[in-house]
Amino acid sequence: MATSFLTVQQVAERLSVSTDHVYRHANSYPFTDRRLGRRLRFLKSGLEAWMAQRSRLSGNGARPGSPPLGAVDRIGRNPLRRTP
């Protein structure tokens, strides 16, 4: 079975985010497969599994455009964790 890849534009459409957002977070997405020169390719099956995982963890689906699970901000804090 052949492996299916997605472009930046396709990933952006599926996540309902801009292509700039995908480029900024490409290194933290677990489904980023390879960089061909300046082009990024993403595993379709990896994106689908990642989206399913986020949906299960958030209960009713993750908000589009939210940072990847396990992401940290510039200071090293998890942006998904709320502090009192």
CA angle at 16 for the pair 10 and 22, rounded to the nearest 5°:
60
Burial of residue 62 (CB within 10 Å: 0-12, 13-18, 19+) is buried
pLDDT tier for residue 10 given thresholds of 50, 70 and 90: very high
DSSP-based three-state secondary structure for 37: coil
Q: Domain of 39?
A: 5-58
Q: Which residue(s) pair with 43 in the sheet?
A: 5
Model confidence pLDDT, tens digit, residues 33-72: 877 777 888 989 889 988 888 877 765 555 555 655 555 4
Instruction: Tell me the two tokens of residue 71.
Output: 């992401």
How many domains, in total, are found in the chain?
A: 1
The reply to whether 77 falls in a domain is no
The reply to whether 69 falls in a domain is no
Mean pLDDT taken over the chain? 75
More confident residue, 47 or 75: 47
| pTM of the full structure | 0.62
